[in-house]
Structure 1
Amino acid sequence: MSSSAFTINAVVTTFGGKLYKLTHTSPTLKASIDANVFVPPQAANEKVPVLIYLSGLTCTPQNASEKGFLHAWAAHYGLAIIFPDTSPRGLELPGEHDSWDFGSAAGFYVNATQEPWAGHYKMYDYITEELPELVFTDPEFGSKLDGSRVSLSGHSMGGHGALTLFLKNPGKYKSVSAFAPISNPINAPWGVKAFTGYFGEDNKDLWKQHDATELIGNYSGPTPDILIDVGKGDGFYQQKQLLPENLVEASKGTSYEGKVNLRLHDGYDHSYYFVSSFAKDHIEHAVKYLSGKSVL
């Protein structure tokens, strides 16, 4: 049996399954990085499908796994969840920790082309290639998780990541959903700051390649419904950081017209109180496409 690339820092029993808290050294990122993996109880008897959940600005794998309660519903439906980190760790690059919305914990799920980020901030390659390959071939997880059945979800910056990774890789993922995603980052302050830093101010064509609102018009592939939930009480929604309506508008006249299900909810904010309130819906959305089963 091959040795694991991961250091297991803790194993937590929860809802009949196991949450593994992991660390490994990534050749893609040239850095250390954390990840959590939830394995549901059904994996004792069969390979189970997988949801990759991408977290938002300032987050680590702990936020979603400890506050989002996605694994509670995943355990019910027999779904594994991979919770990646949001950036490389331990690099101490110049300016990396200067602001909460760029650099550390703010990798935006892109491959940076500008220095000093280009050598390490390759979160797109890490999420789409390295991390799943490591998990699906690991001696602890390889016999339990089905790497042919994978979906995406995410929150805020992670919602942006989930949408763009899905749209940039037709057919790779069975479905996608998002909580309060940054849906049109080239027109949102967060996205402008991140893309200027990671790609350069003048490389607007590359900016568009990582913007769901720009990508959806050229998408060609399977079209499972896209579920998006946003709280009307979310200050970032009110400040035009999220712009989900732009994505819906851009879908008109495309293969996704009428298939972007944007739900706006009175009172809800941007926090994990919001995520946990609708976690069941997003797990059921993934299960529908991963297992081909109706949910009860």
Structure 2
Amino acid sequence: METISQSRCYGGTQGAYRHDSRTTGTPMTFAVYEPEHRSTGRLPVIWWLSGLTCTHENAMNKLEYKEACSEHGIIFVCPDTSPRGDEVPDDEAYDFGKGAGFYVDATQDPWADSFRMRSYIEDEFMDVVAQNFPVDMERQGIAGHSMGGHGALTVSLRNPGRFRSTSAFSPIVSPLNCPWGEKAMTGYLGPDREAWRPYDSVALIEDGARIDNLVVHQGRDDQFLDEQLKTWLLSDALRHAGMDAAVHMHEGYDHSYFFVSTFIAGNIAWHAERLKA
């Protein structure tokens, strides 16, 4: 693992790092905030999955999590959203290719070799972080925004019991039912819509997946709400499944990091209650 940068922040360390991924076949960058703590202690961790066009830097620079993580003693980790590099295939559109991995394992050429973000996040990346930072893998939470909210929901629903807490801001709740999802799933996975279901939180719940401690935050003035996000589909699925989850609709807020930053400290406190129980 290579250290790209480290800066002291709220008594802890905000760093950026790089490692060679066996899953994607590329170098992968990520950010870690490690609060000040006793050298022998291991801390709970929140994995943050970012949205379309983002790298690890967007949340690291724009999302105001560091003070709250320092207060609650939580490590905060931000992976990249896709493989990178000159040899990695790309698309001219912002919502496909680099920066738009959708946290799936692609099966279609030319994406299948490197766009394996599901396996990267679930099977490799978290272990890399655990081997290099003092995270307590018995106390994990996962969260994300937009495409990353979709990622957080689906990763958690596919791995019940792995995360003590799950939250999502402005998530794409059902790629089966929105233009962003239909484009990405067709391109990465092909036309068989049954193959998309493991990457759709509404479909996963319909198919029997269940998790505890779930909260969703959504702005009512989000410009993508009606066409792309369709939060009501998740609310309906949760109600029909009898899942104890909270979906908060916030008046006047849009899709931006201004919205997410407004509520991130409270969200981290919510995670902390469950990660330290």
Scaled to the shorter chain, the TM-score interval is over 0.9
May I ask how many residue pairs the two structures share in their alignment?
277
Match of 2:194 among 201, 205, 215: 205
Matched, 1:243 2:230: yes
- 1:252 aligns with 239
Post-superposition Cα deviations, 1:1-50, rounded to whole Å, max 9, x if no partner, equal xxxxx110100111111011011111100011110011011354521100
8 Å contact from structure 1 (residues 31, 91) kept in 2: no
Aligned residue for 1:252, secondary structure, equals: helix
**TM-score with structure 1 setting the length:** 0.90
Matched, 1:133 2:127: yes
Displacement of 1:60: 0.8
Whole-Å Cα distance in 1 between the matches of residues 173 and 181 of structure 2? 10
Which consecutive unaligned segments of at least 5 residues does structure 1 have? 1-5
- 2:267 aligns with 282
Which consecutive unaligned segments of at least 5 residues does structure 2 have? none
* Distance change in 2, residues 1:213/1:45 (3 Å): same
Whole-Å Cα distance in 2 between the matches of residues 252 and 273 of structure 1? 29
* Distance change in 2, residues 1:290/1:185 (3 Å): same
Whole-Å Cα distance in 1 between the matches of residues 253 and 210 of structure 2? 33
8 Å contact from structure 1 (residues 163, 178) kept in 2: yes
User: Which has the higher mean CA deviation after the structures are superposed, 226-235 or 156-165?
Assistant: 226-235
- 2:255 aligns with 270
Whole-Å Cα distance in 1 between the matches of residues 42 and 98 of structure 2? 35
Match of 2:56 among 51, 56, 61: 61
8 Å contact from structure 2 (residues 170, 217) kept in 1: yes
CA RMSD of aligned residues (A): 1.4
Percent identity reads 39
Whole-Å Cα distance in 2 between the matches of residues 206 and 8 of structure 1? 38
- 1:88 aligns with 83
Match of 2:222 among 234, 246, 250: 234
Residue identity opposite 1:20 in structure 2: G
8 Å contact from structure 1 (residues 156, 179) kept in 2: yes
- 1:223 aligns with 212
Residue identity opposite 2:203 in structure 1: E
**TM-score with structure 2 setting the length:** 0.96
Displacement of 1:284: 1.5
Displacement of 1:231: 1.0
- 1:160 aligns with 150
Match of 2:5 among 2, 6, 10: 10
